[in-house]
């Protein structure tokens, strides 16, 4: 477990850069993580992030399909907001563990 300072806060991260402790996440930290991923974060991004965090906190399985059926964005919009690897990037920025469905 490594430590990294993001948005003037030192957090514990794993070898892939995901937060070890979800409770360390803040919006400011999420914004900085988004910048590292090359994403200019918007309110729509934060709506998706809130959905992801709520789903994970409830212990529910997180998939691209679930995000697409959230009513916040469809799958195409999800790929536009988090290009390349949407679920991987979105979960990293959200401060939640990497889903098992992500390689």
CA neighbor of 98 nearest in space, from 13, 29, 3: 13
- pLDDT of residue 7 exceeding 90: no
pLDDT value of position 103: 62
From 11, 97, 102, 103, the catalytic residue: 102
List, for residues 21-68, the tens digit of each pLDDT value: 999 999 999 999 999 999 999 999 999 999 999 999 999 989 999 999
pTM exceeds 0.75, yes or no = yes
Q: Name the packing angle between helices 43-57 and 27-36 (round to 10°).
A: 110
Q: Known catalytic residue: 67? A: no
């Amino acid at each position: 477990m490594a430590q990294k300072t993001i948005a003037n806060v030192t957090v514990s991260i794993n070898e892939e850069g995901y937060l070890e402790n979800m409770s360390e996440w803040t919006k400011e930290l999420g914004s900085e993580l988004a910048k590292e991923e090359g994403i200019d974060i918007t309110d729509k991004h934060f709506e998706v992030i809130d959905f992801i965090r709520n789903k994970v906190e409830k212990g529910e399985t997180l998939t691209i399909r679930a995000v697409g059926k959230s009513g916040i964005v469809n799958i195409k919009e999800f790929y536009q907001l988090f290009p390349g690897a949407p679920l991987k990037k979105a979960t990293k920025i959200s401060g939640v563990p990497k889903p098992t469905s992500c390689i």
